[in-house]
């Protein structure tokens, strides 16, 4: 009897929960959906995909708390090498695949899968067009870190029976260096090329490092800390003379910002990141040449998606976002050549002006400032060292500006940047460096504010420094033997 009563009470309780659930998660009507989807009036361009009124949409409001960041003025963002904001046009393209077009792109038996698959293939084409590739050569990944691991470990392990030598540089991204370190533990021989004071490698040193058992050369296109652009086209031409060596480039900081053509540059594998070109986080791609075919061992095993190189269900909304970001970048980046003058895209020209404004105005008011890296590098990445100023104190004093002193992936470390040390920078100068990341949405007013704030802060910190006082008195700091004091 008690058991029967218990089961009856349990069913009633479950029924009440179910009823509550049904009342709470009621399917919204068309009018309800239209009332919660706000369509910005600014998006009238036919190329922009705006949310329709019949899509499922949600208006999110974060509750304000006393003393929260929402009640404060947000800092000016100049950290575009860490991540870029999602372009509103990209978000518009993604929304349908986050709402009513939620099919699995690998489902081949119904319309939901077909429309998601078509969106993925369109995105693949947009990305391929941006880098001069065939769409079939594009493999989607979770980001450039996965792409770099896939290229380096995949090629090395596939050819390990005959070739066990890899060449890279000392200034690569941490994920490239760690992938090479891991292969070193597996018995591979890794050569780390040095760079000059400007951050550029020597082609002669590269050619001298090539061996009969070299399987891969991995050199990034644009450095994430200094903006240095490596001579990728020349490197590709050099490696083409040596049969059987694959050329991989980490182009996360280059694609969508400077012209990149994988065929012109003779690149065999190239890593791409979505959130570095105004797309969403969590999505990236790797270009893997098919003709001649690049052979590599997959890192992930599973359903065999993406030519069997990268198993797993593709996040259609994120892929669409990456594709739209590539389409926009391609539209902005129209290269024209007039004799020897090359005009890149509107983004690049505008970023160049803002970069020149930042550097010129800081140098006009602050002495003993050193620019790290090649002055002919990517202008959206400006790395400056301020002598006689402690780096951590400088960053802490600049709370109104979102900056970094190096790569976001290694910002938790208090060690000086290994990239700047490879360029020959002294430890104190590497510690006092700041990386200014200028992007598509940076304004002149923001640059002017940053310049004035930097000038005031550096002068204030130097006034508190005994070293600066000695320099002002004409004492040569480098000539002092500090061990005697």
**Contact criterion met (CB below 8 Å) for 310 and 141:** yes
201, β-bridge pairs: 195
**What's the Cα-to-Cα distance from 300 to each of 208, 286, 308, rounded to whole Å?**
35, 14, 9
C-alpha neighbours within 13 Å on the C-beta side of residue 199: 28
Helices (H), 186-276: 203-209, 232-240
- Distance, CA of 203 to CA of 329 (rounded, Å): 30
Residue 168: strand, helix, or coil: strand
Question: What are phi and psi for residue 435, nearest 5 degrees?
Answer: -105, 120
Half-sphere exposure for 56 (CA within 13 Å, toward CB): 10
Place of tokens 């009507």: 29
Q: Which of 175, 180, 381, 409 is catalytic?
A: 409
Cα distances from 216 to residues 196, 293, 431, in angstroms, run 22, 14, 33
Helix segments in 135-173, DSSP class H: 144-158
Give the Cα separation of 183 and 245 in Å (integer): 17
Q: What is the 8-class DSSP label of residue 45?
A: -
Can you give the length of the chain in residues? Answer: 485
Q: Tell me if residue 409 is catalytic.
A: yes
Phi and psi at 394, nearest 5°, equal -65, -45
Residue 404 phi, psi (nearest 5): -140, 165
Place of tokens 């983004």: 347
**Across-strand partners of 381?**
437
CA–CA distance, 389 with 463 (Å, rounded to integer): 10
State whether residue 270 is helix, strand or coil.
Answer: strand
DSSP string, 374-395: -TTS-TTEEEEEETTS-HHHHH
CA gap 221, 232 in Å, rounded:
6
Token readout for 302 is: 């599973």
Q: Which residues are marked as active site?
A: 409
């Amino acid at each position: 009897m008690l058991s029967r009563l218990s089961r009856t009470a349990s069913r009633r309780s479950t029924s009440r929960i179910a009823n509550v659930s049904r009342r709470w998660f009621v399917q919204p009507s068309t009018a309800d959906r239209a009332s919660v989807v706000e369509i910005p009036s600014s998006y009238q361009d036919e190329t922009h995909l705006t949310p329709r009124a019949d899509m499922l949409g949600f208006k999110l409001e974060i509750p304000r708390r006393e003393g929260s960041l929402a009640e404060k003025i947000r800092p000016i963002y100049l950290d575009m090498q860490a991540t870029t904001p999602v372009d509103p046009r990209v978000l518009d393209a993604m929304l349908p695949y986050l709402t009513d077009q939620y099919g699995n792109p690998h489902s081949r038996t119904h319309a939901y899968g077909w429309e998601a698959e078509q969106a993925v293939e369109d995105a693949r084409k947009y990305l391929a067009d941006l880098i001069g590739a065939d769409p079939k050569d594009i493999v989607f990944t979770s980001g450039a870190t996965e792409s770099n691991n896939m290229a380096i470990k995949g090629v090395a392990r596939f050819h390990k029976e005959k070739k066990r030598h890899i060449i890279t540089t000392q200034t690569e991204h941490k994920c490239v260096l760690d992938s090479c370190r891991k292969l070193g533990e597996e018995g591979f021989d890794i050569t780390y090329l040095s760079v000059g004071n400007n951050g550029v490698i020597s082609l002669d040193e590269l050619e001298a490092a090539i061996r009969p058992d070299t399987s891969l050369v991995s050199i990034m296109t644009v450095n994430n800390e200094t903006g240095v652009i490596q001579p990728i086209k020349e490197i590709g031409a050099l490696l083409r003379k040596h049969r059987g060596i694959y050329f991989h480039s980490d182009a996360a900081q280059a694609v969508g910002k400077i012209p990149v053509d994988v065929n012109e540059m003779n690149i065999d594998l190239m890593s791409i990141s979505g959130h570095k070109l105004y797309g969403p986080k969590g999505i990236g791609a790797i270009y893997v040449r098919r003709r001649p075919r690049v052979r590599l061992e997959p890192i992930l095993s599973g359903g065999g998606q993406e030519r069997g190189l990268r198993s797993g269900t593709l996040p259609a909304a994120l892929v669409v976002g990456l594709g739209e970001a590539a389409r926009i970048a391609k539209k902005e980046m129209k290269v024209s050549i007039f004799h020897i003058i090359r005009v890149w895209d509107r983004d690049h020209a505008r970023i160049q002006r803002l970069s020149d404004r930042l550097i010129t105005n800081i140098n006009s008011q602050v002495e003993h400032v050193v620019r790290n890296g090649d002055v002919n590098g990517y202008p959206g990445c400006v790395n400056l060292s301020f002598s006689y100023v402690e780096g951590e104190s400088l960053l802490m004093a600049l709370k109104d500006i979102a900056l970094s002193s190096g790569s976001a992936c290694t910002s938790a470390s208090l060690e000086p940047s290994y990239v700047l040390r490879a360029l020959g920078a002294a430890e104190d100068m590497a510690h006092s460096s700041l990386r200014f990341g200028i992007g598509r949405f940076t304004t002149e007013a923001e640059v002017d504010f940053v310049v004035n704030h930097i000038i005031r802060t550096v002068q204030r910190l130097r006034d508190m420094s005994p070293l600066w006082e000695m320099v002002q008195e004409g004492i040569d700091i480098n000539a002092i033997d500090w061990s005697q004091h």
